[in-house]
Amino acid sequence: MGVIPSGAELSRATVIALLSRVFGDDPDLHEDVAGGEYAELVWEGERLGTQWFVHPGKTGVSELVVSIWDAFPLLPAAGFRAEVTRVVEVLQEVAQATGGRFVVQEGDVTGAPLGEVLDMISSDEDDRTPAGMVLSTTAESDEDFLGRYLAAGDERLAWLHDQAARTGRPQRLDHSRDSLAPIWGWAIGRLELRPADAPREKVILENGSVFQRPTDAVLPMWYGRSALLAPHIWSDESLALIDAVAFYAAECVRHAVPELSWQVGHGETRGYVYEGQPVLAGRGHDLEPISSLRPLMGKVYHLRNPDPVDPRTPPAAEDLRDWFDAAVAERRSES
């Protein structure tokens, strides 16, 4: 959608003045643009993503084009429509002030009521789950999940100790650096892949992201809270082991760096991948226990599923100790 001239070019001063309500002193808006190029601007809301292209003409603006998208298309439409309203109102005012035409989906909506324009962009009805997918929703708050995740910590460690003892390889779980290589060396031999033909279903989250979930499986409590936390390739037993070892390793880091604490992950930008997840935070980058160990799990995966054309470095017991050293060094270096 956008605004195009109806005869003379759009007044550059008027366009800049009105768009400044959205972009303020953004230099990409206020600086002159070389011939044949255009100014590109980005504005994001809680749900709405936008790209604005201001095309210069001979004396003014030859075209103002705006692309929009909903970052969370399965959430109720009202939130998205509320943010789109701001964009539509600005474009309507640009058209009115410059004598231009307001166009949406190649249709001229100059002077049309706001509600009519919004209906062209987003239905007032909530979207439905796409065919062939299962919608995953939860009423549990992120804070409540963090509490539940931490409350299960002692149970994880007791299970880990019991499993190791049953195999004749009892482990020392004292949160020390020296305990990490033995526990990972033991775990490497226990991690197994889920059969490739095991039944799975496609799941879509409320934010629109998609992952695969094994059916008739026993999964850790964090499985599928985000598309990143859905390692469906591992067996049920292996997922339980990953759950326990990752929590134990994170606790080792927390004991080594007392300034760290368990928190609900929250980023200032939409691209923050651990939003709402349990993380260790307080120094350095947030540490999410499962995804932070994915490189180590990847080595075991390639050991179980080798590629003769592209051989990989095999896993080693020391990998988890080295991971700990790097995690602690980064966070101790933060002032």
| Residue among 52, 76, 73, 68 nearest 121 (CA) | 68
DSSP bridge pairs for 250: none
- Using DSSP bridges, classify how beta strands 134-136 and 200-205 pair: parallel, antiparallel or unpaired: parallel
Average pLDDT over residues 83-102: 94
Q: What pLDDT score was predicted for residue 33?
A: 64
Farthest CA pair distance, the chain: 85
Residues comprising the chain, all counted: 335
* CA nearest to 97, candidates 11, 1, 8: 11
Tell me the three state secondary structure of residue 84: helix
Q: Residue 196 CA to chain centroid, in angstroms?
A: 27
* pLDDT (tens digit per residue) in 19-37: 999 898 888 888 876 656 7
Calculate ∠ Cα 268-270-275, nearest 5°.
Answer: 75
Kindly tell me if the per-residue pLDDT of 313 is higher than 70: yes
| Alpha carbon distance 151, 278 (integer Å) | 12
Model confidence pTM above 0.75: no
Residue 327: pLDDT band (50, 70, 90) is very high
Nearest to 183 by CA among 325, 329, 319, 303: 319
pLDDT digits (tens, 9 = 90+) for 136-175: 888 899 999 999 999 999 999 999 999 999 999 989 999 9
Q: What CA–CA distance (Å, rounded) separates 75 from 92?
A: 27
Instruction: Determine the Cα–Cα distance for residues 54 and 52; give it in Å rounded to an integer.
Output: 7
Which DSSP helix (H) or strand (E) runs through 42? strand 39-44
**What is the mean predicted confidence (pLDDT) over 200-217?**
90
Do residues 83 and 48 make contact, with C-beta atoms less than 8 angstroms apart?
Answer: yes
Bridge partners of 272?
none
Range from 59-63, 115-119, 153-157, 268-272 carrying the lowest mean pLDDT: 268-272
Between the alpha carbon of residue 235 and those of residues 16, 167, 191, 194, 302, the distances in Å are 57, 18, 8, 4, 15
Q: What is the DSSP letter of 38?
A: -
pLDDT of residue 107: 86
Res. 255: pLDDT tops 60: yes
Mean pLDDT of the chain: 91
Cα distances (angstroms) measured from residue 75 to each of 5, 71, 92, 125, 259 = 36, 9, 27, 11, 36
Q: How far is CA 182 from CA 175, 235, 316, in A?
A: 12, 22, 10
**pLDDT per position as a tens digit, 171-188:** 999 999 999 999 999 999
